[in-house]
């Protein structure tokens, strides 16, 4: 009978005395990507942290330990009351790919939410681009490296939700919660502008347990769910479909956001941005070059939201709500920029 070692992990604030330890860890983590030795050396100054930095209220240095050994850390720099930058996020090479990076970025976002922050900027290593996209980041530009002049690095932005929440793909066990939110959010969005009979007709044909169950099983569909970390309540969802594409959408590999809704109780708290970030990340992971959606012409709030995310109106189509034929704008967003 063998003894199994208990693995304990802890995330805590770094101490100034750990500056050298974190500097060495950052260089080892950078070297993991098989950069030439001279390139890693060129990064040494930028990746050397001083005790005064860790002790500075402008920065938050946080480490993750496994069995009391530091195996990763992140550093946040305060730019303004609502905007921070991720100055560092490194994990020991042998622990890369084991979920510690995800734990650190999630911890950072949760910490920022408690501070009232709304935006996190990240100048990322190209090898970490997929990681930051999967964490909800979207590329907003490029920035010159602080270590190698003329080397341009992708600049990402993550919108920090006002509440702590998590996004994942749905499974059949989510069906009841999904139907409940789908019905409530549809009524909240369209109830005030449409006939009750038309609403009931749509709900009884399109948002039932049977119908959404079929859609969950369809390999052409994916549902993304956002749940509150505190209550596990479902507070937002999106449906992605890579089936048919509207004729006004130009692309070799298109994906549609067929539905994206947020519960009224968390409206304007960043949950919609979390969903959109993950929709874009999922589209990117599927190698799509364009993402599109239809939005009711009488829903200016949604239209403005999509425009802020870079969607452009490219066409129109008709949407049947009961006996009412409505007009939807077709909007799309090229993903070529996100591909770097």
The least confident of 68-72, 78-82, 249-253 is: 249-253
Beta bridge partners of 248: none
For residues 44 and 39, give the distance between their C-alpha atoms in angstroms, rounded to a whole number. 9
Mean pLDDT of 221-229: 95
With H, G, I as helix, E, B as strand and everything else as coil, classify residue 1: coil
- DSSP secondary structure string for all residues of 35-83: --HHHHHHTTTTT---HHHHT-TTEEEEEEEETTEEEEEEEEEE-SSSE
- Does residue 48 carry a pLDDT above 60? yes
- Does residue 339 carry a pLDDT above 70? no
With H, G, I as helix, E, B as strand and everything else as coil, classify residue 227: strand
The least confident of 44-48, 63-67, 157-161, 290-294 is: 157-161
Count CA atoms within 13 Å of residue 286 on its CB side: 21
62-71 in b/e burial notation, b at 16+ Cβ within 10 A?
bbbebeeebb
Catalytic residue, from 74, 202, 261, 306: name it: 306
Identical fold between 9-159 and 165-334: yes
Phi and psi (nearest 5°) for 287? 65, 35
Q: What's residue 7's pLDDT?
A: 81
Q: What's residue 230's pLDDT?
A: 86
> pLDDT tier at 133 (50, 70, 90 boundaries)?
confident
> pLDDT tier at 4 (50, 70, 90 boundaries)?
low
pTM: 0.73
- Given a contact cutoff of 8 angstroms between Cβ atoms, the answer to whether 322 and 201 are in contact is yes
What is the rounded average pLDDT for all residues in the chain? 92
- Does residue 191 carry a pLDDT above 90? no
Q: What CATH number does the domain located at 165-334 have?
A: 3.40.630.30
> pLDDT tier at 5 (50, 70, 90 boundaries)?
low
- Does residue 338 carry a pLDDT above 50? no
With H, G, I as helix, E, B as strand and everything else as coil, classify residue 298: coil
Q: What CATH number does the domain located at 9-159 have?
A: 3.40.630.30
The least confident of 167-176, 186-195, 219-228, 258-267 is: 186-195
Confirm whether 74 is a catalytic residue: no
In tens, the pLDDT along 287-307 reads 899 999 999 999 999 999 999
Four-point Cα dihedral 302, 298, 255, 260, nearest 10: 50
Pairing type for strands 83-91 and 119-123 reads parallel
Q: What's residue 119's pLDDT?
A: 93
Q: How many CB atoms lie within 10 A of CB 114?
A: 8
- Does residue 155 carry a pLDDT above 90? yes
- Does residue 1 carry a pLDDT above 70? no
Of the ranges 166-170, 192-196, 234-238, the best mean pLDDT one: 234-238
Q: How many CB atoms lie within 10 A of CB 325?
A: 9
Paired tokens of 120: 């996190």
What residue spans define the domains of the chain? 9-159, 165-334
Percent over 90 (pLDDT), the chain? 75
- Does residue 41 carry a pLDDT above 90? yes
Percent over 70 (pLDDT), the chain? 97
For residues 287 and 305, give the distance between their C-alpha atoms in angstroms, rounded to a whole number. 24
- Does residue 73 carry a pLDDT above 60? yes
């Amino acid at each position: 009978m063998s003894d199994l070692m208990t693995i304990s992990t802890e995330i805590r604030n770094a101490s100034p005395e750990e500056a050298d330890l974190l500097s060495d860890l950052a260089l080892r983590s950078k070297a993991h990507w098989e950069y030439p030795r001279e390139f890693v050396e060129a990064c040494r100054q930028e990746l050397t942290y001083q005790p005064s930095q860790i002790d500075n209220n402008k920065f938050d240095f946080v480490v993750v330990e496994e069995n009391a050994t530091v195996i990763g850390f992140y550093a946040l720099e305060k730019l303004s009351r609502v905007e921070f930058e991720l100055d560092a996020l490194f994990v020991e090479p042998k622990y890369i790919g084991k979920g510690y990076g995800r734990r650190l970025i999630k911890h950072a976002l949760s910490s920022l939410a408690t501070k009232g922050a709304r935006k996190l900027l990240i100048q990322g290593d190209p090898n970490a681009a997929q990681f930051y996209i999967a964490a909800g980041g979207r590329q907003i530009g490029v920035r010159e490296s602080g270590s190698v002049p003329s080397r341009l690095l992708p600049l990402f932005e993550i919108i920090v939700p006002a509440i702590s929440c998590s996004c994942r793909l749905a499974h059949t066990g989510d069906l009841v919660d999904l139907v409940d939110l789908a019905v409530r959010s549809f009524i909240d969005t369209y109830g005030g502008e449409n006939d009750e009979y038309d609403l009931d007709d749509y709900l009884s044909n399109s948002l039932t347990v049977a119908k959404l169950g079929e859609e969950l099983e369809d390999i052409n569909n994916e549902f993304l769910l956002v749940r509150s970390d505190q209550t596990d309540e479902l507070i937002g969802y999106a449906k992605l479909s890579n089936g048919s594409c509207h004729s006004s959408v130009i692309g070799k590999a298109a994906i549609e956001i067929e539905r994206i809704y947020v519960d009224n109780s968390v409206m304007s708290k960043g949950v919609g941005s979390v969903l959109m970030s993950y929709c874009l990340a999922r589209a990117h992971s599927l190698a799509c070059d364009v993402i599109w959606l239809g939005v009711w012409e009488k829903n200016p709030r949604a239209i403005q939201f999509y425009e802020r995310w870079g969607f452009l109106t490219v066409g129109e189509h008709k949407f049947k709500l009961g006996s009412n034929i409505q007009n939807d704008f077709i909007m799309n967003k090229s993903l070529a920029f996100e591909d770097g």
